[in-house]
């Protein structure tokens, strides 16, 4: 049966369409046009008067939510995380690991790899697209809360062990390019189709450039856990902000990065190269208290997540990040939505499937108020219960 969705407006997100009619068949968009330019076919009708349709959001860096941690890597934990994500408009994501013992990382990667293989069997839940390996190939000086004893020198051999454990499901890897072996590991990651993201790094400008030349194409939570920008020593931040080919993500919660710095970041990377992430942990959508981040006990109070006095992830949601971009930087809804839809889809090489509303793409949509509040999420043409 066809499903026909109508609303006040639709953002693709590269253009607005007034009074849209979206026809869905077999979980994909069959056609999309303005009501004035098409006849509405017979089928199940979903009418969202006064609301806006947009692509489902994609979070490429998230550790957990709803009291569960991605490193648990079991069906129960991912089910709760994915249902929580769907409530906030997220239809696809990269479950993200943290630095731990090699045995623990390998076990988590194995569990996540198996669950990803079965992901499309779970209607009404955000879909894991692959794994983001955050650590252990990171700098001691900029490790944040990652346990120092478990940091590992990068090498193609070490990456291959993780890759094999995940059954080839690692899609992104955060790495400090200044570490011995990092350049070779970035090159090998590129052969595997893994996106190398510069982060948790004390790299100089030249060391960062070497990582980019080797194949790194992204940057992890820009400004956080990075060598500070200096006018005579631009460091990794100078390389990230100036490079027009490199995409970069940011935690727009007003805690990790000051709103004025967020505005500068958006001016530097622009509407095509900036990506919003949450770096959310298990405490997201939960009351204040003590929560796990890959086994670390993180104290959460008034929106701050801390471990031994250091920031340890966030309780940000991606819909809130979009609204914060609108509030902090004065961006319009259409511009802000692109940072959580088309841009991450392009970075992952899946914009022919997700991140853009067009015929042939998956019917993953979010229904928004004009202010950017989530009213409904549609995954594969269905609204979760």
The set of catalytic residues is: 279
Cα dist. 259→175, 243, 270, 273, 336 in Å? 26, 22, 16, 18, 14
CB atoms within 10 A of CB 18: 11
- Residue 29 pairs in a beta bridge with 24
| Nearest-10 crossing angle of helices 156-165, 102-117 | 50
Do the beta carbons of residue 31 and residue 38 sit within 8 Å?
yes
Judge whether 128 and 95 are in contact, CB under 8 Å: yes
Structure token digits, residue 324: 């914060």
Check whether the bond before 13 is cis (ω within 30° of 0).
Answer: yes
- Spatial distance between the Cα atoms of 220 and 275, rounded to a whole number of angstroms: 10
Tell me the H-state helices in 193-275: 205-214, 235-242, 259-273
Contact 111, 63 (CB under 8 A): no
Question: How many residues are recorded in the chain?
Answer: 385
**CA–centroid distance for 209 within its chain:** 24
b/e 190-221 (16+ beta carbons within 10 angstroms → b)? eeeebbbbbbbbbbbbebbbbbbebbbbbbbb
Instruction: Detail the DSSP E strand segments found in 112-194.
Output: 127-128, 131-134, 170-175
Say how far apart CA 342 and CA 361 lie, in whole Å. Answer: 12
CB of 261 within 8 A of CB of 234? no
Structure tokens at 80: 């709760």
């Amino acid at each position: 049966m066809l499903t026909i969705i109508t609303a006040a407006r639709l953002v693709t997100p590269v253009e607005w369409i007034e009074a849209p009619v979206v026809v869905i068949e077999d979980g994909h968009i069959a056609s999309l046009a303005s009501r004035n330019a098409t006849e509405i076919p017979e089928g199940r009708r979903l009418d969202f008067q006064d609301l806006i349709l947009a692509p489902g959001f994609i979070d490429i860096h998230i550790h957990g939510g709803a009291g569960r941690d991605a490193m648990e890597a079991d069906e129960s934990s991912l089910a709760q995380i994915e249902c929580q994500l769907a409530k906030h408009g997220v239809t696809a994501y990269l479950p993200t690991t943290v630095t731990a013992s090699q045995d623990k990382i390998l076990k988590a990667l194995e569990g996540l790899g198996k669950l990803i293989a079965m992901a499309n069997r779970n209607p009404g839940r955000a879909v894991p697209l692959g794994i983001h390996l955050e650590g252990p190939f990171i700098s001691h000086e900029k490790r944040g809360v990652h346990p120092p004893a478990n940091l590992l020198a990068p090498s193609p051999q070490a990456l291959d062990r993780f890759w094999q454990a995940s059954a080839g499901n690692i899609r992104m890897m955060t790495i400090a390019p200044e570490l011995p072996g990092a350049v070779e590991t970035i090159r090998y990651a590129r052969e595997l189709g893994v996106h190398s993201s510069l982060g948790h790094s004390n790299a100089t400008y030249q060391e960062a450039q070497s990582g980019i030349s080797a194949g790194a194409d992204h940057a992890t939570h820009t400004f956080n856990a990075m060598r500070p920008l200096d006018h005579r020593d631009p460091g990794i931040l100078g390389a990230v902000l100036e490079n027009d080919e490199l995409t970069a993500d940011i935690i727009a919660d007003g805690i990790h990065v000051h709103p004025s710095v967020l505005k500068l970041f958006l001016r530097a990377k622009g509407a095509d190269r900036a990506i919003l992430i949450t770096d959310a942990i298990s405490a997201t959508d939960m009351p204040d208290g003590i929560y796990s981040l890959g086994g670390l006990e993180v104290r959460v109070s008034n929106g701050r997540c801390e471990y031994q006095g250091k920031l340890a992830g966030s309780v940000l949601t991606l819909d809130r990040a979009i609204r914060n971009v609108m509030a902090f930087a004065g961006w319009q809804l259409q511009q802000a939505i692109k940072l959580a839809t088309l841009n991450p889809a392009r970075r992952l090489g899946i914009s022919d499937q997700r991140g853009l509303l067009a015929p042939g793409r998956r019917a993953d949509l979010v229904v928004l108020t004009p202010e950017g509040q989530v009213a409904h999420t549609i995954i594969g043409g269905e609204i979760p219960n």
